[in-house]
Amino acid sequence: MGRPWQALRALRLRLLGPEKELVGTDQFGNKYYRVPKHETRGGQIIPERRFVEAINRQAYQYEMGDFPTEWEAWIRKKRNDPPTIE
């Protein structure tokens, strides 16, 4: 990556915060992401965020049990590490 791109990436990180990181997917095809803890331009600390992008569903259509229990525990920060295939 060239020097200008590094400068643009650093500026974007400073202005908008870090990008989301794909952590994993479940057997239904839902994708789970995290945005790491970061500091804003004003010095405010933003805690880690975890969220899911569901496949072919609207948010209001989900019911209890639509997400695997392991992933739901990770989203709610009841477990530190995301589930693995074991």
Alpha-carbon gap, residue 14 to 70, rounded angstroms: 33
Give per-residue pLDDT as tens, 3-42: 887 777 777 766 666 788 999 999 888 899 998 888 777 7
CB 69 within 8 A of CB 46: no
Q: Is the pLDDT of residue 57 over 60?
A: yes
**Greater confidence, 2 or 48?**
48
pLDDT > 70: percent of the chain: 77
Alpha-carbon gap, residue 29 to 67, rounded angstroms: 10
Report pLDDT for 23: 94
Alpha-carbon gap, residue 54 to 38, rounded angstroms: 25
**Greater confidence, 13 or 44?**
44
* pTM (two decimals): 0.72
Q: Is the pLDDT of residue 86 over 70?
A: no
Report pLDDT for 44: 83
Domain positions in the chain are: 19-86
